[in-house]
Amino acid sequence: MGRILAIDYGIKRTGIAVTDSERIIATGLTTVNTPLLMQWLQDYCKKEQVDVFVVGEPKHMDNTPSQSARIIEPFVGRLREAFPDKEIARIDERFTSKMAFQAMIDGGLKKKQRQDKAMVDQVSATIMLQDYMRKLKIES
């Protein structure tokens, strides 16, 4: 069984989280400079078996797409082209950054560490991955 890899896509940086090979644990993996993301994903998929990409779906409170959707949708299209054999799942990413920031506070990170936006992106990707895994468990 391949891993599930979550992508918190951003204009400058993209947070990445991944499951273990048994799909039990979601772990923050890294933050990648967005212009380098596709190459990073190709390199990672050569080393590790990935079956599913989970990509955040930004929405407003009324469920309509947010302005961020305009930059994420073209990325999803490129992802489908580059990895036609992989499933691409979308997950609501509302509040993940706020949840990530709170998780960092709850985890005891100092203020200076919480200001690290790359860390927030990575934790956000982990939260999205945990939500997706929870949804899979409920549906099965």
pLDDT at 66: 62
DSSP structure string for 82-118:
H-TTSEEEEEE-TTHHHHHHHHHHHTT--HHHHT-HH
pLDDT at 92: 80
Token couple for 61: 């409170």
The CA angle 52-55-60, to the nearest 5 degrees, is: 150
Radius of gyration of the chain (CA): 14
> H-type helices in the chain, by residue range?
37-47, 69-82, 96-106, 111-114, 117-139
Low-confidence ranges of the chain (pLDDT < 70): 59-61, 63-67, 69, 94-116, 139-140
Of the chain, the end-to-end C-alpha distance in Å amounts to 16
pTM of the prediction? 0.84
pLDDT at 120: 76
pLDDT at 108: 67
pLDDT at 69: 67
The CA angle 135-68-63, to the nearest 5 degrees, is: 50
pLDDT at 118: 72
Q: What is the Cα–Cα distance from 89 to 4, expressed in whole angstroms?
A: 10
pLDDT at 78: 97
Residue-range domain boundaries for the chain? 3-139
For domain 3-139, which CATH number applies: 3.40.718.10, 3.40.30.10, 3.30.420.140, 2.40.50.140? 3.30.420.140
pLDDT at 121: 83
